[in-house]
Amino acid sequence: MTQGEATQFRTLCEQAGLAVTHQRQVIYEVLCSIEGHPSPEEVYARVKRSIPSVSLATVYKNLHLFINSGIFEQVSLHHGSMRVETNQTRHHHLLCTSCKTIHDIDPEVLGLPEVPRELPGGFRMERLAVDVLGICARCQAREAAEPGTIQ
Amino acid sequence: MTQGEATQFRTLCEQAGLAVTHQRQVIYEVLCSIEGHPSPEEVYARVKRSIPSVSLATVYKNLHLFINSGIFEQVSLHHGSMRVETNQTRHHHLLCTSCKTIHDIDPEVLGLPEVPRELPGGFRMERLAVDVLGICARCQAREAAEPGTIQ
DNA sequence: ATGTGTGCAAATAATTTGCATTGAC
DNA sequence: GTCAATGCAAATTATTTGCACACAT
């Protein structure tokens, strides 16, 4: 990690109210350097190269801290278990990042245009899944009433 | 289930090469009647009302069969584990439904317009996450070479 | 010194699998 | 009759938690 990156990391920790530990710094460094969309196990394996004694629990705890602090994001919000789409009409989703609820939304409301079926690289599109991430009205009201409760 | 629904279910099973069993029919019926985005456990609980002896394993097996046959969809593709987004630049995802790989794509390529920050119902948008679901070039080639291998 | 962070092991949750039995075709 | 589907229990996989000790502030 360069000096600039280390400084940036310290700033991020300060803003998030997190202590600057060696493990945390290596996890951050691994995330920055890794290509793709790593799972906790993959991050753990890489961190282990620098810190053989690191535990998987520490990786999980720090990933959650990073995500809750907005330092990193998840690829798509996880609900712990699989969810089946029972609404057979074409629609997209409003996903509240605070209370994790999913609401359906009509594609018209978003006003998205048609996307080409054939994309660069030869990928053939079959369906567009749009998640609108944000804060639902209920959580906005809750946040206004009790500031600091939104994660 | 009405007679028409039962007939439709038989047709779907025939197309997918699935036997028409009582359990399978009740699971289908529950999925059609349920609002929202149920988890396997929720489906199981409802099916149990009609068939107390049903097992959770049967529910899982049938949900996968339905999803693989295209009779239902998942809310968002699950990778079994959480995935961290390490690409800090704004982008969307190409998701191959055959090999499950995720590739990043520039928002420009999709040509999506700006979406209003405030949506009906008071939802405040913070981010738009777009997943383009389809078949990647590699899997298209594989399918051309060995038809029937795409799930 | 104080409290947060870490590592470990155990606990829990989610899902899958093997296998004997049942039921659809 | 034949083979796919089911139920059950055990196995796996993913994630979380409690707690004693170490380290950052």
The secondary structure of residue B112, as a DSSP letter, is: P
Closest CA to B45 of B25, B26, B32, B20: B26
CATH architecture of B90-145: 2-Layer Sandwich (3.30)
Instruction: For residue B7, count CB atoms less than 10 angstroms from its CB and return exposed for 0-12, middle for 13-18, buried for 19 or more.
Output: exposed
For chain B positions 103-132, those within 8 Å of chain A (CB to CB) are 103, 105, 109-113, 115, 119-132
Residue ranges matching CATH 3.30.1490.190 in chain B: 90-145
Contacts of A63 in chain B (CB under 8 A): 82, 84
Query: What sign does the CA torsion over A58, A60, A64, A70 have?
Result: positive
Distance (Å) from the alpha carbon of A67 to chain B's nearest alpha carbon: 9
The per-residue pLDDT for range A19-73, each reduced to its tens digit, is: 999 999 999 999 999 998 999 999 999 999 999 999 999 999 999 999 999 999 9
Percent residues over pLDDT 90 in chain B: 56
Closest CA to B118 of A140, A144, A74: A140
B82 at the A interface (CB within 8 A)?
yes
**For the residues B10-38, what does the mean pLDDT come to?**
97
pTM above the 0.95 mark? no
Which stretch of DSSP H or E encloses residue B123? strand B123-135
- The domain over range A3-77 is classified in CATH as 1.10.10.10: yes
Residue ranges matching CATH 1.10.10.10 in chain B: 3-77
CA–CA separation, B93 and A130 (whole Å): 10
pLDDT at B108: 85
